[in-house]
Structure 1
Amino acid sequence: MTGWVDQVFCEDALAGLARIPDGSVDLLLTDPPYNLGKDYGNGSDQQSVAAYLAWTEGWIDAALPKLKANGSLYIFLTWRFAPEIFVMLKKRMTMMNEIIWDRRVPSMGGSVRSFSSVHDTIGFFVNRKDYYFDLDAVRIPYDAATKKARSRSIFIGAKWLEVGYNPKDLWSVSRLHREHPERADHPTQKPLEIIERMIKASCPPGGVVLDPFMGSGTTAIAARALGRRFTGFELNPEYCAIIAARLAAPKPSPTIKQRKSIARAAKAVMRAVGATEEQA
């Protein structure tokens, strides 16, 4: 596994995907242009509907063979084109979820002739039934009140009560405003929190994540931080420079709050393991 991993290539994905061996990627995670007229320094987001859908089908057919047999795909989409692209993917994979990302847009402004659009659509697809999925890695901890309410003897030792619950298919995570510390100079940058959840759930430690449209490089940043390999492409040289700078930047030390959260999670897992061993 040399020459193409832990690299972001500054080139068109349709040309560059040929360098990725077939069946070598655990997770395909991507945020392609939505065709809404955003300025990415090229015309990739300003095509006719027919041309955009044909282009989408072209990169899908080029990228999917790179997945392993038990691999998965997450794709960010706009509601305007999600139905057509979901149909494309359903002909090739099994759809597991339509995830709604609530961007927490403030209640002001917006259209006066329709309801304001405040979400992105995310499709979660898999190749076959034995796809990799680590639910425990992305469980959300219960609060103290919930744990107390489940203190009856029938719940004692219940692993799910200690490690948390399964995230739902509505993800409420704030978009990255201009002053956000994560924010890079990219118009549609996605939050690390969302990308990390996808990687932790659907790519094994040491596995490979492919992103054909790297943008500001968040997929690469998240994969490296989580002990996964990454590879991908970005057409715009300015964004390639942003990715290189982000990857070269020193990793920030965890805050006190983050360290406490990590410690609590570790203790919860240890308690759950201990309870399971006692019952065994």
Structure 2
Amino acid sequence: MSDWLNQVFCEDALSGLARIPDASVDLILTDPPYNLGKDYGNDSDQRSVADYLAWTEQWIDTALPKLTANGSLYIFLTWRFSPEIFVMLKKRLTMMNEIIWDRRVPSMGGSVRSFTSVHDTVGFFVKRKDYYFDLDAIRIPYDAETKKARSRSIFVGAKWLELGYNPKDLWSVSRLHREHPERADHPTQKPLEIIERIVKASCPPGGVVLDPFLGSGTTAVAAKRCGRNYVGFELNPDYCAVIEQRLVAVDNPARPYVRPKVEKRPRASKKAAPAAGGAVEQGENFELI
């Protein structure tokens, strides 16, 4: 067993990635800071635009050599920086999809000077044409009514009808509300439903998933639940403790992870200072997702 495999390192990924051999990771799946001024217990989300893009390019160039020849990368981004970062990645990889995650934000509140942001952007990139992708593992079953409507002889025995259809590039999955049982104490936690879909599709069973910015640890939890190996990095020691508890809970269903009760912090006012590089609307910057 490699000493780096199935480990969460509480350190900066830029230095920690040296632990991981080149060409040893099947999937890089990550949700890096969006540079919108979120509070992660440090200033990692508060850079100038130039510094943020330079830092992004630095960690990308450090992480990409870790991918196997048929590996893939998925990256969560905000629309504010996805164009620049997608161009950056297109110089190094082949882009397969721009996936839109519709967070199902309620139709109240939000910006009054622009259209309210209710989605995240996910880029799907590969190293070469024979990349690993298991569509059958993520098909969405048809309901009984649809199957009945396809009962004509030309549909009999059709594999796709039994297994379901291919998820499209618009994923409508609710964000994790404060009281959601899956929710950890982290401001931008992603739902397991989304992360597990990516892991099943783009990492072979027994393969390795790398997340340079683990946050609440959802990538590691999804990998473990799906029979994959994981490795990742997280700067904040409080989040590292959360990750450890969530991973232990995967092996102990009778003792699920229970988020500690914390006092609700008041939302920042609309007049709060935005991150460097431009104004930030309330719906995007202050709403817990």
TM-score (norm 1): 0.89
Q: Say whether 1:252 aligns with 2:256.
A: no
Q: Give SS of 2:68's match.
A: strand
- Give the AA of the match of 1:109: G
User: What's 2:260 paired with?
Assistant: none
- Give the AA of the match of 1:180: H
User: What's 1:267 paired with?
Assistant: none
User: What's 1:20 paired with?
Assistant: 20
- Give the AA of the match of 1:244: E
Cα distance in 2 for residues equivalent to 1:71 and 1:180: 33
- Give the AA of the match of 1:76: F
Structure with the higher fraction of residues in helix conformation: 1
Q: Give SS of 1:92's match.
A: coil
Cα distance in 1 for residues equivalent to 2:79 and 2:59: 19
Cα distance in 2 for residues equivalent to 1:145 and 1:252: 35
Q: Give SS of 2:26's match.
A: strand
User: What's 1:72 paired with?
Assistant: 72
- Give the AA of the match of 2:210: L
Q: Say whether 1:121 aligns with 2:121.
A: yes
Q: Give SS of 2:86's match.
A: helix
Q: Say whether 1:227 aligns with 2:227.
A: yes
For residues 251-273 of structure 1, the C-alpha deviation after alignment (integer angstroms, 9 at most, x for no partner) is 437xxxxxxxxxxxxxxxxxxxx
Q: 1:246 Cα shift?
A: 1.0
User: What's 1:110 paired with?
Assistant: 110
Q: Say whether 1:149 aligns with 2:138.
A: no
User: What's 2:164 paired with?
Assistant: 164
Q: Give SS of 1:145's match.
A: helix
Task: Structure 2: give runs of 5+ residues left out of the alignment.
Answer: 255-289
User: What's 2:261 paired with?
Assistant: none
Cα distance in 1 for residues equivalent to 2:146 and 2:224: 34
User: What's 2:61 paired with?
Assistant: 61
Greater Cα shift, 1-10 or 207-216 = 1-10
User: What's 1:140 paired with?
Assistant: 140
Q: 1:242 Cα shift?
A: 0.6
Q: 1:82 Cα shift?
A: 0.1
Q: 1:86 Cα shift?
A: 0.1
Q: Give SS of 1:123's match.
A: strand
Matches within 5 A, 1:206-245: 206-245=206-245
Cα distance in 2 for residues equivalent to 1:112 and 1:178: 24
Identity %: 84
Cα distance in 2 for residues equivalent to 1:15 and 1:186: 24
User: What's 1:51 paired with?
Assistant: 51
TM-score (norm 2): 0.87
User: What's 1:6 paired with?
Assistant: 6
User: What's 2:193 paired with?
Assistant: 193
Matches within 5 A, 1:61-100: 61-100=61-100
Q: Give SS of 1:157's match.
A: coil
Q: 1:247 Cα shift?
A: 1.2
Q: 1:169 Cα shift?
A: 0.1
Q: Give SS of 1:5's match.
A: coil
Cα distance in 1 for residues equivalent to 2:216 and 2:42: 15
Task: Structure 1: give runs of 5+ residues left out of the alignment.
Answer: 254-280
Q: Give SS of 1:105's match.
A: coil
User: What's 2:286 paired with?
Assistant: none
User: What's 1:205 paired with?
Assistant: 205
The number of residue pairs the alignment matches comes to 253
- Give the AA of the match of 1:77: L
Cα distance in 1 for residues equivalent to 2:225 and 2:110: 36
| Runs of 4+, deviation exceeding 4 Å | none
Give the alignment's Cα RMSD to 1 decimal: 0.8
